[in-house]
Structures are given as C-alpha cells and as structure tokens.
Structure 1
C-alpha cells in the first residue's frame, strides 16, 4: 500500500473517499442502509479522509455522514465545502456560486449542524465567486479557523493566481480540482503552484467520472438525474471517439493484471508523489478495488505509454458544458 501523505496538519492515506455519489450527481441517492455499510467498510479497510459538501443532495450527504459515522468520528479526517448552492441573485441556473463572507458563515453553521460536529477538519470554498475577491472569501474562512469551527482552509476549482492570492491572506492547506489521465488541466499551473506554496493537491474524479473504470464501455442508459448526460465527453460523437482509445487502455490494464480504475489511480499516485485522490463509489466492491490500487507500481515505460495514449490531445470533448465551465477558474488548454 502507498505510504501516507501530508495534507496540512494531517497525515492521511492518499486514496480517500469522495462521498458525493451516495447522495447526488449520478442518479438516485443510495439506499441509506447500503450507504451506511459502505461508509463503515471504508473506515474498516483504511480510508481515513472523507470528502463531502453542503450542496451534495442539498445537505443530505453531510447529514448521512454525520448520522452514520457519529460514533467513529475520531477515525477519519473530515472535509466539506461551502460557496455553491442556490440564490435569488442569479435567475438563470438554480446552481450558483456565492463566496460572500456572510454566506460562508451561514453555510458553515448549517454544515456543522448537519454533520453533528462542532469542528470540521478541512473546509473548502467550493467555487471562486467572480463577484467577490478571493481574499474576502478566504478572510471569512480564516475567521472560522480562529473561532475553532474549522481546522484548515481549502479551495476548489480556482486558478493558480487565485490560489497564490488566497495563500497570502491565510495559509491554504489543499487545492481540489479534477485531475486524471483524461483531465490534465492542473498540469498547466495548479500543480506547480501547490508545490511552490506547500499546498496539497486533491484530485477529484480521478477515474474520469467512471469512464476510466469502464462504466460507459457498454453504453448504459444514464438516468435523468445523472450529470454526465449533458457533459460533452459522454455524448456522441465524442463518446465514440473516447471509447475507441478506452479499448486499448483496458487491454493495458488486463496485461498488467489490474482493473482499469486501479490503473488510473496508480498513474495519478505515481505522477505526483504528494497528491491525494478521492474516488467516489456506491459499490463496496469498487471501494475495495480502489484501495488496492495503492499497492500497484507502474514502470516508467508503462507511465509513458499511458501518458501518450490518454491526454488533452487524444480526449474528445470539454470536461464541462459552457454553463458549468463558467463556475470554475482553473486554467484551460488552448
């Protein structure tokens, strides 16, 4: 198993658990009894970093974790997020970004209540608010640190410049952004900024929202509530293009003797020896499979072959729709 890594004042397994899909994003919420079994199994086999957010299931995900793991709270580092929700300020989409200090204060108190705790280990600004300077948003989070409500500050989907400005206001412990074989945007500037500042990079969707695990290989019908239905990479003709190289990718995994998901996680863990990943799942089998990826070692030649097969030039389709893209500030390839 891969050695533990540092995130702020915490030492954690580099394979954490993204809890979103238990409540939100890929169809109906998981049955609570099944979700409880998965969360307990995660702690039993070594997961010690759990990631949630106020917006996941409109608070359901935080309530779930707080209720199910109340008696085991001391066994894991808890991360949640604020700044993404609903607002009357934006009459267009019902999802919006709100980084105003008063909004952060309000959502944090709601998160503490839903989680049933007085302190959250790591609290992120989920998205940068284009109407609020990052320094103001981070200032509110810094005051929450001083008040003892949170232990460390994180940022999600911000630019390298925003990260540097935020870090000058208050030390930032983590930057969370999508990163995988098929999403390389952090390699433009985000990873370098993290190294310069001593910030831990947290890679979400490390198996490409299931694509790199083979979830779309047989073209299943996605439910109406599955966010991937509108994402360009999951729609033809982009999907057909991406499934063509996925066949070669899966053959590489078979040759190594691992699953496609394990190969994707192993590539990330070797690509950057400091980052942390948070794959999500609703399956205990996949939960165990992902954790086992920590014991997989790839040769330099295999790393190069993967890098050549899947990258920003070989993947078809943007990672977000234009509307979704407007909520993030991460650097984009030309």
Structure 2
C-alpha cells in the first residue's frame, strides 16, 4: 500500500513505538489465552462508533511529514529496480482438488488467496482486476483464472484500501456469498446488494459450516474517499477448520506485539500468510507494512509452523526493487535457523497442500 495506491488523499500513520515481541511457539494442546469469544450470528446488524481512530497507535501524518514525502519524491523503484519485472515468479497451475480434511492454498497474487479449508473455498481480499486506482497495472497476471475457481463459499476482507477491496472483482460473485468484513464495512457491501455480510471487531468470531472465522488485530488504517478515514476497522483473519487446522491471513500490517498476542490466543497456527512488500521508504511505511525481516519475526511470534509470503510481485506500490522482498525474506529465514521447507515462497499462481498432522 502507498499513498497513491489507496486514494489520491490517503496517508498512513507515522511510525509508532512498538513493544518488544519475543518469539513464541505455543503448543496446540495449550488452552487459548484469553478464552476465545463465542461465534456471533451470521449477518448480524450492528451499530459501530463513527470512527476507529482510537485504534491507531500514532496520529496521522501532519504537514511536515507530507512535505518530506513530497520533497523526497519517488514511491516507485528506479529503472534498475524495475528491470527484474520479467523475472518475477509466475507459475499458474490448477487449484488442487482436496477433501474436507485437507487445507490447500493457491496464490492469485498480492493478498488474494484461494484457501480451501474444512470443505470450504474462501477468497482473501480478492483482486482479479488488472489495475487498481492510482497504481500502474499489475506486473504479473492473475495467477488463478476466475473461471478455474471452485465454487466460492466465503470471502474475507482485511480492510477497505483499493488493493484489498476491489469492487469489479466482487461484482463477479453471487450476492448471497457469505462475506466476513471488519467492523463498519458492512454498509459498503449492502449497498452492492450482498445479503450475507458479517462484520466483526478484533477478537470476535463467526462460524460457517464448521469453519471458524476470527478477526484479529493488525496495525494499519482505512480510507477510500476524502471523508471516510478510519470509518471502518482493519485487521487479519484466523481460519480454523473443524479438526483444528489453522491458517492466519494477516492482510496489511506493520510489525509489533500483536503477533505474539495472536499466537497466544490461537496456538498451533499451521500456516501464516504474511506481507513482505511495499515497505520502502521505511520512515513512511514501517508502521503499516512489514519488511521481509519483520515478517519472519512475525511468523516466529505467531508460533506458525509455516509461512507463505504475499503482498509483493503483483503491484508496484513502493520504492524497493521488485525482486528484493523475495531475496530478503529467504536470507532472513535462513538467518533465523528455520527449516527451509517451511518457507512457502510460492510463485504467483502456485498452490501448496498442507499435510494433515492432526489426530
């Protein structure tokens, strides 16, 4: 995410002071702490605060910050940083056919995943458009053709920025598709005639066909127009199958203590889908986007068994060279002493099936 990629007036909050987060790897047998909330009713109509500004850990940028951003210029890589676009990994393949006890993920690009879990097919932040507002066209094609998708059983949305909430893509879905969204975002969907919209606050959950959808904290923000800054919430999702298999979809987030807290409350995360791109310049983006090293630390804090990088290789949103996120995340993973097989650094379009290690 960058200023240009969300709207012509959008600006992220400045870098907050972060709490130290020690790595943790909680056992699946350990009880969640604090206890998980009971699932809320699907499609529940709720009243929310007018703004979620109180969820920010730093104020929005002032004039001096905006002036520095304008003075320092580019939010895109230079010619050398763009030269590797033809080398970006793109290997489209079929979506796996799996049963209800098997978890599989397919990366369509950016933050869009096809997650098959508990017998459901769930799309995360689906963006099948070639272009989003204020940003050059995608540099890799969509990795999973819309026509190749299984029936979509549910959609989860992390926040309302244009590279995560894409109206043209969502118009392709039947309006009765269950949609899980952050607090305050349901009216956007209801205006578009979606009939099964469930909005949740952090640490709340809902359940569909035995699969649990928990909305968890992130440090980001929201905005689509001149007048709606932080009018809806932002966050990530924990998807838990009936047999306990868990996938964490982080959406957009900076690094901080919330990853440890999520890992404590949801022990035994099997796979974390974590963002590694759109991080340069750090003085501008560090509070809202992890860099590759922070994403590896986040996976450790979560206690996740595996990590799949995302939020790179699709749209050119910031100034780092296009292949740099992949190089840096591989180095950080090795330096952390983690098993190379557990870094699922997948090409756009690729799929992986999670081996069932549960009783």
TM-score by length of 1: 0.35
Q: Which has the higher contact order (CA 8 A, sep 6+)?
A: 2
Which structure has greater helix proportion? Answer: 1
